[in-house]
Chains A and B, each alone.
Chain A
Amino acid sequence: MTPGTAPADETTPTGEASSHAQQPDQAADDGPRAGAGSTSTDVDPRFAPEVPGHEKAEQATHIWETSRRFGITPEQYMLPAGQQIRMLAPDGTLIPEDQQGTSPGHEYPLPEDEALLAAYEALVVGRRINDQNYALVRQGRLAVYPSSHGQEACQVGAALALGDGDWMFPTYRDTVAVITRGVDPLEVMVSFRGDWHCGYDPHQYQVSALSTPLTTQLLHAVGVAHAAKLRGEDTVVLAMCGDGATSEGDFHEALNFAAVFEVPVVFFVQNNGYAISVPLSHQSAAPSLAHKAIGYGMAGEQVDGNDMVAVLATLRRAVDLAREHSMPLLLEATTYRMQAHTNADDDTRYRDADEVELWKERDPLLRMKRFLSGKGVLDDAVESRISATAEEVAASLRQAMTTEPAMDPLEIFDHVYSAPTAQLREQRAQLADELERSQED
């Protein structure tokens, strides 16, 4: 639908505002207060041009129209719901709809069983990949691995919420998301083995290279979305980062550019509590990271990142809204990194074992398993099929890591430019000569 076509005092036409939609309060009650230069009869003055030279970005109108559609104020729309969205209790039971944290403008339909089962399968495979890679590092067969053990619901949700034509911009801890998206696990692991390239062709999967400089890739996500928008394509881009990364300047610039240019980017923050050793309390004094959205004129939401159902539901809706209205959104998932930052890190120096134990009770995989078993969707036969799939992936990783990767040292010159410069040709010849002489010795 076209935003703004639904009068605020009528039922919303999309069905997104469900049966418990409340009557609009301030947005409708304020009545007509048109801003200067506006042709609309009831534009909220906070989102209308007030004086010439201070006209608002179109995104402001857009936010106003969208919130109006839900029968709430723009602030109510942009601020996260009163509590984080949660659908599954730790014991795996479905939380009653009126306690999920949803409200008008913040509704999240329960995904269908088929999608939930696919998510569970990806969770099991993702957990197996995390633990296999962790073991391979300890055996010295993998150079480094930033594990997402404990964060798999976010990883899986990120991949499953996207359509084929969409793009994903992951960080170094998002291996499981990238694999769930369809990139060959062995290709993804190339850089963690110590090779010099990212291992896969980003264009083939519409997944960018894992980004190591924190948050820088969020701007690339904005650019990809902007290019698509200029060509009239409906591509949505998912830009991933962690809680620490929200302190970087590029986080601010990316959210601001996305809102100003009205591009369909879903910013997905996995708040796992720590940036290596530094806790969230030292990163931000905001009520939540999702609250940062309103400062850019976009909607933010907070979700229980260890609740696979809620993560998938919120991400799906964010992707749908981004696509439908060409608008950015911010989703913060609260989760926990169960293992150290990498094998080079000692997490006992900055957090208590008790804290880690506490989060074991919120394990996303176990919670989902209980839910689906209780629902009758998951039985022993399905469970053993999924386990077998996970074991296959793990076995292929083990197998791949038993052989040394074939690296051609001369290739390090070949991709720096589209054609090597004269200087690089000289240096390549020098190395080739050295290699030849070393073989003769």
Chain B
Amino acid sequence: MATTTETTSTPETSPASAAGDTSPTGVKATTFAAALNTAMSDAMEHDDAVCVFGEDVGTLGGVFRITDGLTQRFGENRCFDTPLAESGIAGMATGMAINGMKPVIEMQFDAFAYPALEQIFSHIAKLANRTRGHVRLPMVIRVPYGGGVGGVEHHCDSSEAYYAHTPGLKVYTPATVADAYLMLREAIDSPDPVVFFEPKKLYWTKEQVDLAALRRRYESGAADAGVGTEGRAVVVREGSDVSLISYGPSVSVALKAAQAAAEEGISAEVLDLRSIVPFDDDALTATVEKTGRAVVIAEPQGFVSVAGEIVARIQERCFHSLSSPVRRVTGFDIPYPSPKLEEHHLPSVDRILDTLDELQWED
């Protein structure tokens, strides 16, 4: 069930004007990081049960400053540093969620979350099921993820497939500033555990977004009314010849590729999945049936990946609408390369255009 427009968000196309980061309509340019920070702050204001913790999230405000100011504003009982132990963070959050809290925990980097996997896979994902629904865990595990930021080893993994493969977890990943706000608010309010993947390379991107308007929209019950972001992919560019299916950090790459393809006479539609779990099969089916061609674009290695799952679902559901084999543009099946080589690994506009050329265009 795809939505086609995001009225509150306009991707920035030019550097900030001389008048400052304010558009002619008076809407300030807002960073992805600020949207996440405001989402947590608003949720904490709204609900005393919401608390934020992790490594360096308190005094420092997080290594990416996503939790900046929360301790100062809400006190050390609501936003605090923990000992350096990811399993401990996830396990303690589990207990706090059992006992009435809504923890929002930060895994400092994608690959640093691995010590917490036993807690996440064996308990957080399964406790509601094991207790026949008696114990729900309303918690959010924030994971800064992905590459493209010149990070060193262990700092650039795209680990979403591990979590998406685990029943009981929800997996969100926003690609726009507006979604960063709305989806984090939804994740915090979800009665289920949500692994919230934040594309690191988007943290400092700016868009003309009115966070106050988003807050009003969210708190007026838009999410409750069934028009939230969970499980609802969004068509971020309309087209008719091919569907570029993507999520998180790769959506902006897909959009650039669609723009370039348009100059070559190919009309590409771009679908942003937003949540991997739950998965929006309806939106996927709709776009592929419309265009008849599909290329899936995602950062991590392609072998046994979310991209592979998407291709399988297209094949199962849209076979008779397809005019071409479904293709993927993903990272190579290697450990994440060094900063100097990452440009060769990440899905690029050129690689997407090459792939589009290789699709079957003749009937």
Contacts and interface: CB of A to CB of B under 8 A. Distances in A.
Interface string B74-88: 000100001101011
B218 to A, nearest CB: 19
Interface stretch (A109-117, A129-137, A251-259, A277-285): A251-259
A197 B231 contact: no
A224 B95 contact: yes
Contact of A253 (B87, B130, B281): B87
User: In this complex, which of A220, A222, A230 has the most chain B Cβ atoms within 10 angstroms of its Cβ?
Assistant: A220
Nearest to B98: A224
B92 A256 contact: no
Contacts of B129: 196-197, 415-416
A222 B118 contact: no
Interface residues of B, number: 47
Contacts of A226: 92, 95-96
Interface stretch (B5-13, B120-128, B291-299, B340-348): B120-128
A216 interface: yes
A401 interface: no
A393 B95 CA distance: 32
A257 B82 contact: yes
Contact of B128 (A230, A418, A421, A422): A418
A421 B131 contact: no
B98 A219 contact: no
A423 interface: yes
Nearest to B78: A230
B221 interface: no
Contacts of A249: 87, 115
B170 A223 contact: no
A202 interface: yes
A340 interface: no
B88 A257 contact: yes
Contacts of A224: 95-96, 98-99
Contacts of A253: 83, 85, 87-88, 91
A414 interface: yes
A202 B131 contact: yes
Contact of B98 (A196, A208, A218, A422): A208
Interface stretch (B17-25, B133-141, B233-241, B328-336): B133-141
A15 to B, nearest CB: 33
A225 B132 CA distance: 23
A227 B95 contact: yes
B173 interface: no
Contacts, number: 142
A256 B88 contact: yes
A414 B94 CA distance: 21
A217 B133 CA distance: 18
Interface in A194-219: 196-198, 201-204, 208-209, 213, 216-219
B8 to A, nearest CB: 26
B281 to A, nearest CB: 6
Contacts of B98: 202, 208, 220, 223-224, 227
A230 B79 CA distance: 12
B122 A257 contact: no
A250 interface: yes
A257 B168 contact: no
Interface in B86-123: 87-88, 90-101, 103, 115, 118-119, 122-123
Given A213-B118, A415-B128, A223 B94 contact: yes
Contact of B91 (A198, A231, A250): A250
B132 A415 contact: yes
B211 interface: no
Contacts of B123: 213, 216-217, 220
A216 B95 contact: no
Contacts of A217: 123
A260 B81 CA distance: 11
A429 to B, nearest CB: 14
A196 B132 CA distance: 9
A202 B130 CA distance: 11
A223 B92 contact: yes
Interface in B247-282: 277-279, 281-282
Interface in B199-243: 231
B325 interface: no
A254 B231 contact: no
Given A197-B131, A209-B127, A417 B192 contact: yes
Contacts of B91: 216, 218-220, 222-223, 250, 253-254
Given A216-B119, A422-B279, 7 more contacts: A197-B130, A198-B131, A203-B135, A219-B90, A223-B99, A250-B87, A256-B83
26 contacts: A198-B131, A201-B134, A219-B92, A220-B98, A222-B88, A223-B97, A223-B103, A226-B92, A226-B95, A227-B96, A227-B99, A227-B100, A228-B99, A249-B87, A254-B88, A257-B83, A257-B92, A260-B82, A415-B131, A416-B128, A416-B168, A417-B128, A417-B192, A418-B128, A418-B136, A422-B281
Interface of B: 51, 77, 82-83, 85, 87-88, 90-101, 103, 115, 118-119, 122-123, 127-136, 167-168, 170, 190-192, 231, 277-279, 281-282
